[in-house]
Amino acid sequence: MTNPVPNLEAELPIRQLVITLVLIGMSIAALPIGFHLLEMRDPYVQQVLAKPGVTDRGYEIFQVNCAACHGATGDGMVGPSLRAVGDRKSRLGLIHQVISGETPPMPKFQPSPEVMADLLAYLESLK
Ligand code: HEC
């Protein structure tokens, strides 16, 4: 037996649920884009990218803060090998990796823009 009159009372909550789920899905999908734009305009990122960055100084900073996990030459130990990491990650991606603390056990670092620029130069020199 078919009922030609749709049961509105039963359909309404389902429609609301579907709409809510679609809206949540859209906001989640937009999140990375939002963060990306935010970071490009981030004054810290702009200060880092404005500095030339000295590879030798970056090497020293790396030995003190990063080598315990990534190895003295970035070949990897607890942390992954950083060889040619500059080909895999953008400059923004590298800065984000160092300052975000999003991938434990790697800690969140807060280097000054100058120190970050030196680190960036060193990371990009790893072939
Ligand atoms: C406590 C250990 C630890 C320390 C200290 C550490 N890292 Fe890491 N690092 C990791 C781990 C683990 C990952 C992998 C994270 C993941 O993707 O899940 C990682 C990932 C990375 C990546 C991304 C590699 C890729 O292939 O995408 C970069 C770049 C990096 N680390 C740079 C650094 C730098 C620069 C420092 C020092 C300022 C540092 N790390 C200090 C553990 C560490």
CATH number, domain containing residue 66: 1.10.760.10
Do 34 and 96 belong together in one domain?
A: no
| Domain presence at residue 3 | no
Assigned domain for 112 exists? yes
Q: Which of 15-19, 34-38, 44-48 has the lowest mean pLDDT?
A: 34-38
Looking at per-residue pLDDT, the higher value among 22 and 30 belongs to 22
What are the pLDDT digits (tens) for 57-84?
Answer: 999 999 999 999 999 999 999 999 999 9
Please state, for a pLDDT cut of 90, what percent of the chain lies above it.
67
**Neighbouring C-beta atoms of residue 95, cutoff 10 Å:** 24
Helix (H), strand (E) counts: the chain:
7, 0
Distances (CA, A) of 43 to 17, 50, 98: 40, 10, 16
Give the angle subtended at the CA of 117 by the CAs of 68 and 49, to the nearest 5°: 140
User: How many CB atoms are located within 10 Å of the residue 118 CB?
Assistant: 25
Q: Which ligand 1 atom minimizes the distance to the CA of 105? A: 1
Pocket-testing residue among 66, 73, 81, 85, ligand 1, by greatest number of atoms within 8 A of Cβ: 66
Q: Is residue 94 part of a domain?
A: yes
Return the structure tokens found at 115: 């120190």
Instruction: For residues 47 and 70, state if they share a domain.
Output: yes
68 and 107 fall within a common domain: yes
22: domain range?
10-41
